[in-house]
């Protein structure tokens, strides 16, 4: 039976607890949202002693399913002031499950300035000193940690940004090949980890076991059906070949590619940032380059990549569309090698490239950067590393940068930066940005694949809800968004998997049921934290400033925004 | 009959309108709060085109009553995100009433970067160019404006901070002696004025008239009773002799004097900051010094002063207790001349000395300032003037400074800095800070004179409410807080004055009735803007960090905070 592991970082103590009944059927995002509702004072200071940092593997993690080993990390967000779940691939989820951990809850904060490396294994929790790693980037820190703890462990760690408790700091996780490349990026959870004086968490599942399965034969059959559906889906092949960069040209065509701080939806240099261009670079260069790289063991999608710059000086894995959008076109940069270098720096700082890219775009409008000047971007990233006033402004994200630097065109909802889809041209995703309890986030419900006129405000809320429910469900399962290709192709797969593993009696529709459960917890937490309808809005400028080339504004009526979650009493 | 003057700053047009019936019996704070509820989208960007900047004289302004000519200025606050009324003495209210203006409502924002000097007179509204004044401090700007427009006009103007749209920027008003010393300081209204491209508003009431009075004889009698009560009150004499600096030793004795960023409630240098010390300096130095200076024509209290530093180099009027507390003891500074110099700079920038002092205190905890180092404070104020990143951090107030610089001990409620009374030692005032719709502000309900144990959490909410209602009432009348001495001594005075002037039938109790009306509008606006109970709280650290010397924390229960406004349904 899986257990809850509870660590008190002030007392340097831990307890292993039975899972309370109300958490038993929950996993990942839904579980940690429920824990937040049950245990965390929603009014608390996110960087204070009352907040908790929670790691919860999804319900399907650890059962040898392609693309289903994601870890959900959460707490009250220092960026949004509300609920926060951010998930990542890599090893962390898998090794926690090997140790039988349903949720790791880290409480309180140290009474002094000390730093800890938390070591979690079959023997329990150890509190190793972390001071020697302080100030080191994510890459160097992880190399040193692997030297100490071996290359079989999972590691979740923060960089200098998390140490400085900057709101754009995330938590990096080792991928299957030891690269600290899988970041739970959004919402400032790296700052929460920093506030608790934890530089890294080592999870050594080597003495652990495979998790129990109620019906092994049933699981085998369900797994087979799932893999078949996944491999048979045409999109699987697209992502294998082109990665998420396949989106660049598609989004540019829709007129939704963030360009020069969201002042346009189309970028003249888009082709240089396309999936085709990336594949060409990766195939041409050979060597360590890998256009189709899995982040988790046994992944059939392999949407990730290892990108090496032409000079061989920088290797970054993965180079993703969101980074290309926010740190490329959004900054007027059309050079993929340059974006890779920027991405490396942001990774090494341990930050969300979406949030940092958006903040940099805002800073350009304030006169701190000429669009297209990559060298200046590197200087600004160095300011973040140095913790200068300007660096701290940028490192706290786009909303803070806009407020401090006096810029109106700030692309945020609930204080969190838009992903690389302008909501004026993909209005369903704009509804997701506005209404998701998580703040603006494409992973909470991207509508771009819906067969609809994306600039028509009508009919978008239903699509946004559909995607929001599916994503909240996937995030509770520990499933990558791309696993949806397999689930979508065979609607019996999810209930079959859950029923075989846990002995439940779930039916078709369980994904959305779980999604609704999760969003309900999340909205409850936000409400307790003081969120209202006023928080389910996009900023004023998107409703009045027309977006070239189609000159659209965000004109979804407030009544639609207020009625997305149709099951709620209003 | 008074009228509403409505200016559109984009169109450079104006209209003079009949007062709508629902505004007819309102004035000052209550009136502008009602206008906000009626006309301003509570979700709007405070610095955007939908916000309005409103000037509303109180109901008693213009009738030759001592201490009753205050002007209420308001709009949606860029500091708190909620309703904002900030009032000041000086000439502005009086000259607006001379022009028969019940409310001046300034709408929209310019379509370009142009700057305007708004000229208001019997001939209407003129839009003079303002560019030549841009970048100039408040003192130099007002000197130039007086050269152009003569020394009889009223002037409301912003300094460089307002031009930069910093959230700690206020609006300065000329006092009766042409000094731009009466600041509507709180909540960032200077930034709202800056966002509308207005450097100054000239109000030339010279061709105006005395306002109508229904019953001149009745007014004469009521005025006489009021003046008698005012002059007979012992506190009147205290403020005449010592100004508000009389509070320093009293607050220090209570252990509530903000010291080194609210880390203590008692300051070893307090005696150097006392009313006695100030009077000694002023009497010793003679010359332009004036220990008992009125800010408005005909004021009997004369709590203000003109303070000249020993070297004669700096003249500041007035030097007030709140500045002494926030920029003196709160920064570890015990030299009154040095505080006067800092105050001069803050005035010249056109900023709220409370907000700036609190932000500087926070910056000291972040390592940007050694407590007691006045030269460094001058450097930091120069950073604000230069608009550097650090300057903009500080200029946006304590909450932003704390967020960006990573400091937990940030003295704010609703994003606005505490006044110079630590809420852990004066708990009734802490309730006011937490629950006032305006954010932390002693002028919304200071409880220090209540005969109660200020550290006992019990029984405070009733006292806070009593003071909040009275202050909201005074602010709607245009009455200085000290006018309350006269009103308090004779409870028939206020209804008599209103009935004589307007022909109403008000009774004893009208002050609190008006206060309740105003607070009801304000809470309605805040609710529409998304405020909830979660906003009626003090920050977490005041509930856990003990305040020396009495080691108290703020332990008023949330249930008390949620039931202050007893007339509300909950």
Q: What is the pLDDT of residues A519-555, one digit of tens each?
A: 999 999 999 999 999 999 999 999 999 999 999 999 9
B45 contact residues in A (CB cutoff 8 A): 408, 539-541
Burial class (CB in 10 A: 0-12, 13-18, 19+), A205: buried
CB-based contact A329:A364 (threshold 8 Å):
no
| pLDDT per residue as tens digits for the range A308-353 | 999 988 889 889 999 999 999 999 999 999 999 999 999 999 999 9
Q: How far is B396 from chain A (nearest CA, A)?
A: 7
Mean pLDDT of A468-473: 97
pLDDT for residue A570: 62
In this structure, the number of other CB atoms found within 10 A of the CB of residue A160 comes to 25
* Chain A residues with beta carbon closer than 8 angstroms to that of B529: 534
- Among the listed ranges A477-491, A497-511, B44-58, B379-393, which one has the minimum average pLDDT value? A477-491
CA-based nearest distance B453→chain A, Å = 28
Check CB contact under 8 Å for A532 and B532: yes
Q: Which residue of A has its CA nearest to B387?
A: A405
Q: Is B533 on the interface with A (CB under 8 A)?
A: yes
Interface test with A, best of B111, B379, B411, B534 (most A CBs within 10 A): B534
Tokens matching residue B116: 């305007």
Query: Residue B432 to residues A250, B439, B451: CA-CA distances in angstroms?
Result: 54, 8, 17
Q: Name A151's Cβ contacts closer than 8 Å, sequence gap at least 6.
A: A178
- The overall longest dimension of chain B from CA atoms, in Å, is 63
Question: Does B530 sit within 8 Å of A532, measured CB to CB?
Answer: yes
Q: In this complex, do B404 and A406 lie within 8 Å of one another by their Cβ atoms?
A: no
**Cβ atoms of residues B513 and B123 within 8 Å:** no
Give the integer Cα–Cα distance in Å for A406 and A415: 15
Write out chain B's pLDDT in tens, 570 residues. 899 999 999 999 999 999 999 999 999 999 999 999 999 999 999 999 999 999 999 999 999 999 999 999 999 999 999 999 999 999 999 999 999 999 999 999 999 999 999 999 999 999 999 999 999 999 999 999 999 999 999 999 999 999 999 999 999 999 988 999 999 999 999 999 999 999 999 999 999 999 999 999 999 999 999 999 888 888 888 888 888 999 999 999 999 999 999 999 999 999 999 999 999 999 999 888 988 888 888 888 888 899 999 998 888 988 999 999 999 999 999 999 999 999 999 999 999 999 999 999 999 999 999 999 999 999 999 999 999 999 999 999 999 999 999 999 999 999 999 999 999 999 999 999 999 999 999 999 999 999 999 999 999 999 999 999 999 999 999 999 888 888 877 889 999 999 999 999 999 999 999 999 999 999 999 999 999 999 999 999 999 999 999 999 999 999 999 999 999 976
E strand or H helix that includes residue A173: strand A171-173
Contacts of residue B42 in chain A, CB cutoff 8 Å?
534
Q: How far apart, in Å, are the Cα atoms of B264 and each of A510, B252, B394, B422, B442?
A: 56, 10, 22, 9, 19
pTM (predicted TM-score): 0.96
Say if the Cβ atoms of A165 and B47 lie within 8 Å.
Answer: no
CA distance A97 to A90: 13
Q: What is the pLDDT of residue B483?
A: 85
Q: Which chain B residues are within 8 Å of A405, Cβ to Cβ?
A: 389, 392
Chain B residue closest to A165 (CA)?
B406
* Chain A residues within 8 A of B10 when measuring between CB atoms: none
The pLDDT value recorded for residue A183 is 96
Residue-wise pLDDT for A97-123, tens only, equals: 999 999 999 999 999 999 999 999 999
Whether B409 and chain A come into contact, CB under 8 Å, resolves to: no
Partnered with residue A475 across adjacent β-strands are: none
- Which residues have a Cβ under 8 Å from the Cβ of A428 and sit 6 or more positions away? A445, A447, A450, A452, A454, A460, A461, A463, A464, A467
Q: DSSP assignment, residue B169?
A: B
- How far lies A459's CA from each of A300, B297, B462, in Å? 34, 63, 51
The answer to whether A235 and A486 have CB atoms below 8 angstroms apart is no
CA distance A446 to A244: 13
Note whether B332 and B376 are within 8 A (CB): no
B:469-528 residues touching chain A, CB 8 A cutoff? 528
B-contacting residues in A 154-183 (Cβ below 8 Å): 164-167
Instruction: Identify any residues that bridge with B94 across adjacent strands, giving them in sequence order.
Output: none
Rounded to 10°, the helix B336-349/B374-386 angle is: 0
Closest approach of A391 to chain B, Cα-based (Å): 9
- Residue A563: partners with Cβ closer than 8 Å, 6 or more residues away: A461, A570
Alpha-carbon distance of B228 to B221, in angstroms, equals 11
CA distance A120 to chain B (A): 29
Helices (H) and strands (E) in chain B, counts: 22, 17
Question: So what's the pLDDT on residue A186?
Answer: 98
Q: How far apart are CA B455 and CA A206, in angstroms?
A: 56
CA of A529: which chain B residue's CA is closest?
B534
Among residues B212, B264, B231, B265, which one has the least CA distance to residue B63?
B212
Chain A CB contacts of B535 below 8 Å: 530
Q: Does B559 touch chain A (CB under 8 A)?
A: no
Name the closest residue on chain A to residue B529, using Cα atoms: A534
Q: Does B108 touch chain A if contact means CB atoms closer than 8 Å?
A: no
Nearest chain A residue to B392 by CA distance is A404
Looking at chain B, which residue has its C-alpha nearest residue A543? B44
**Interchain contact, A406 vs B400, CB within 8 Å:** no
Shortest CA gap A38–chain B (Å): 18
In order, the DSSP letters of B291-352 are EEE-SSTT-S---EEEEE-TTS--EES---HHHHHHHTGGGT---HHHHHHHHHHHHHHTB-
User: Does A541 contact B at CB distance below 8 Å?
Assistant: yes
Strand ordering across the sheet containing B182-184: B124-129, B116-121, B198-204, B154-157, B171-173, B182-184
If one counts every other C-beta atom within 10 angstroms of the C-beta of residue A55, the result is: 26
Digit-coded pLDDT (tens) for A166-193: 999 999 999 988 999 999 999 999 999 9
Q: How confident is the model at residue A1 (pLDDT cuts 50, 70, 90)?
A: confident
Residue recorded with tokens 């997701």: A432
What pLDDT does B334 receive?
A: 98
Band the pLDDT of A485: cuts 50, 70, 90: confident
Paired tokens of A368: 């701190």
Mean pLDDT score across all residues of chain A: 96
Secondary structure (DSSP) of B407-475: -S---EETTEE--SS-TTTSHHHHHHHHH-TT-S-GGG---TTSSS-TT--TTHHHHHHHHHHHHHHHH
Contact B541 A45 (CB under 8 A): yes
Q: Could you tell me the sign of the dihedral formed by the alpha carbons of B325, B330, B334, B338, in that order? A: negative
- Which of A42, A404, A531 has its CB closest to that of B392? A404
Task: Tally the residues of chain B.
Answer: 570
To the nearest whole Å, the CA of B534 is away from the closest chain A CA by: 5
Is the pLDDT reported for residue A476 higher than 70?
yes
**Looking at this predicted complex, what is its ipTM?**
0.95
Name which of B47, B530, B541 is nearest A408 (Cβ-Cβ): B47
Task: Name residue, tokens 């109508």.
Answer: B212
- Count CB neighbours of A170 within 10 A: 33
Decide if B9 contacts B109 (C-beta within 8 A). yes
Q: What is the mean pLDDT of residues A155-161?
A: 98
For B287-322, b/e burial (b = at least 16 CB within 10 A) is eebbbbbbbbeebbbbbbbbbbbeeeebbbbbbbbb
A43/B389 touch (CB, cutoff 8 Å), yes or no = no
- Phi and psi of A157, rounded to 5°? -145, 165
State whether residue B400 sits within 8 Å of chain A by CB: yes
What percentage of residues in chain A have a pLDDT greater than 70?
100
The alpha carbon of residue B558 is apart from the nearest alpha carbon of chain A, in Å, by 11
Between chains, do A530 and B531 touch, taking CB under 8 Å as contact? yes
Q: Which of residues 360-389 of A touch B (CB under 8 A)?
A: 388-389
């Amino acid at each position: 039976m899986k257990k809850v592991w509870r660590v008190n970082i002030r007392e340097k103590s831990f307890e292993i607890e039975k899972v309370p009944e109300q958490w038993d059927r929950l996993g990942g995002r839904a579980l940690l949202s429920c824990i937040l509702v049950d245990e965390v004072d929603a009014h608390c200071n996110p960087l204070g002693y009352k907040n908790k940092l929670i790691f919860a593997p999804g319900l399907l993690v650890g059962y040898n399913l392609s693309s289903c080993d994601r870890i959900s990390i959460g707490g009250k967000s220092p960026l949004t002031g509300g609920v926060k779940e951010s998930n990542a691939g890599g090893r962390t989820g898998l090794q926690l499950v090997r140790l039988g951990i349903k949720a790791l809850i880290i409480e309180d904060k140290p009474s002094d300035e000390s730093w800890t490396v938390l070591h979690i294994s079959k023997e329990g929790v150890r509190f190793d000193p972390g001071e020697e790693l302080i100030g080191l980037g994510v890459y160097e820190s992880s190399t040193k940690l692997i030297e100490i703890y071996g290359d079989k462990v999972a590691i979740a760690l923060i960089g200098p940004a998390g140490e400085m408790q900057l709101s754009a700091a995330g938590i990096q996780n080792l991928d299957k090949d030891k690269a600290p490349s899988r970041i739970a990026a959004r919402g400032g959870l790296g700052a929460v980890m920093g506030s608790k004086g934890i530089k890294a968490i080592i999870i050594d599942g080597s003495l652990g076991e495979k998790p129990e399965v109620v019906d092994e034969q049933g699981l085998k059959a369900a797994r087979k059906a799932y893999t078949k559906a996944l491999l048979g889906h045409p999109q699987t092949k697209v992502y294998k070949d082109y990665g998420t960069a396949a989106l660049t040209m598609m989004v540019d065509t829709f007129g939704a590619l963030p360009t020069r701080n969201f002042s346009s939806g189309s970028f003249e240099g888009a082709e240089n940032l396309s999936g085709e261009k990336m594949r060409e670079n990766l195939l041409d260069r050979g060597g360590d380059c890998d256009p189709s790289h899995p982040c988790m063991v046994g992944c059939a999608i392999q949407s990730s990549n290892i990108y090496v710059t032409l000079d061989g000086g920088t290797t970054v894995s993965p180079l993703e569309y969101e980074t290309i959008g926010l740190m490329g076109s959004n900054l007027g940069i059309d050079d993929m090698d340059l974006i890779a270098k920027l991405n490396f720096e942001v990774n090494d700082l341990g930050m969300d490239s979406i949030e940092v890219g958006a903040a940099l775009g805002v800073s350009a409008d304030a006169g701190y950067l000429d669009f297209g000047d990559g060298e200046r971007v590197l200087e600004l990233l160095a300011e973040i590393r140095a913790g200068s006033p300007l660096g701290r402004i940028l490192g706290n994200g786009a909303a803070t940068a806009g407020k401090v630097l006096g810029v109106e065109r700030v692309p945020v909802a609930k204080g969190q930066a838009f992903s690389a889809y302008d909501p004026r041209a993909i209005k369903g995703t704009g509804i997701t940005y506005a209404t998701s309890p998580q703040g603006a986030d494409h992973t909470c419900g991207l509508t771009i694949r819906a067969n609809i006129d994306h600039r028509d405000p009508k009919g978008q809320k239903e699509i946004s809800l559909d995607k929001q429910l599916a994503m909240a469900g996937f995030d509770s399962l520990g499933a990558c968004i791309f696993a949806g290709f397999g689930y979508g192709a065979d609607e019996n797969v999810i209930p079959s998997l859950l029923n075989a593993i846990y002995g439940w009696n779930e039916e078709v529709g369980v994904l959305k049921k779980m999604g609704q459960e999760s969003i309900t917890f999340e909205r409850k937490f936000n409400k307790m934290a003081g969120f209202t309808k006023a928080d389910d809005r996009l900023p004023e400028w998107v409703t009045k400033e027309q977006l070239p080339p189609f000159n659209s504004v965000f004109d979804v009526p407030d009544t639609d925004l207020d009625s997305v979650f149709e099951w709620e009493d209003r």
